[in-house]
């Protein structure tokens, strides 16, 4: 009689382990699949980043409308980096790269000139500064990828978020 209850207890434990192992495998597979990268651009044929680079382009604001409370916001490349709300979009933005420094020149609506300096690293076909990357797809365009990562913990599980914004500009040819 004791042997049968021992076998029953053992089979319940084995069944519980099998269910737990199967659930963990499904959870691991689901978490790996949810972290896949979507819409990757092939950057291998982009132009090499020159030592000294200078270009001018027009930044344009994107209009964002929130449907919950009918607010309208604008988003732009310079607005994201400078944190300045009063950018004059009628004047071109100048970007200059010299060795490991990137300079961003722009005017605000009050006529004041702003120059931002970012330190970064030059890689084969890109310039990396903070969490952003600058590419030259060809002689007429600039592509800036801005990555944002928020990390946190929920209980013992890793929780966080990441996003990427792409800004693509036409270079003014009269320079």
Please report, for the chain, the start and end positions of each structural domain, with discontinuous segments joined by +.
1-31, 52-170
Query: What is the pTM for the complete model shown?
Result: 0.65
pLDDT band at 33 (very low <50, low <70, confident <90, very high): low
Residue 140 contacts residue 168 (beta carbons within 8 Å): no
Please provide the distance, in angstroms rounded to a whole number, between the alpha carbons at the two ends of the chain: 94
- Answer whether residue 46 shows pLDDT above 60: yes
SS3 38: coil
DSSP H helices in the chain: 2-34, 77-82
> 97-115 pLDDT, tens per residue?
988 898 989 998 898 999 9
Round to whole Å and give the CA distance between 98 and 118.
11
Half-sphere CA count of 20, side-chain side, radius 13 A: 6
SS3 34: helix
Q: 15: phi > 0 → left, psi -120 to 50 → alpha, else beta; which?
A: alpha
pLDDT at 136: 87
pLDDT at 96: 92
Q: Mean pLDDT, to the nearest integer, of 117-131?
A: 86
pLDDT at 87: 86
Residue 55: other Cβ atoms inside 10 A: 21
């Amino acid at each position: 009689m004791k042997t049968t209850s021992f076998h029953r207890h053992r089979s319940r434990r084995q069944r519980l382990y099998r269910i737990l192992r199967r659930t963990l495998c499904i959870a691991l597979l689901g978490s790996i699949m949810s972290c896949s990268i979507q819409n990757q651009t092939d950057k291998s044929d982009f132009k090499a980043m020159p030592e000294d680079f200078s270009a001018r382009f027009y930044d344009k604001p994107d209009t964002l409308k929130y449907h919950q409370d009918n607010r309208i916001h604008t988003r732009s490349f310079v607005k994201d980096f400078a944190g300045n709300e009063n950018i004059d979009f009628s004047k071109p933005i100048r970007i200059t790269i010299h060795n490991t420094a990137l300079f961003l020149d722009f005017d605000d609506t009050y006529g004041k000139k702003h120059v931002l300096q970012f330190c970064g690293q030059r890689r084969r076909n890109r310039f990396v500064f903070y969490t952003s990357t600058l590419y030259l797809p060809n002689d007429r365009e600039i592509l800036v990828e801005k990555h944002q990562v928020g990390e946190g913990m929920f209980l013992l599980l890793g929780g966080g978020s990441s996003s990427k914004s792409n800004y693509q500009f036409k270079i003014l040819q009269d320079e």
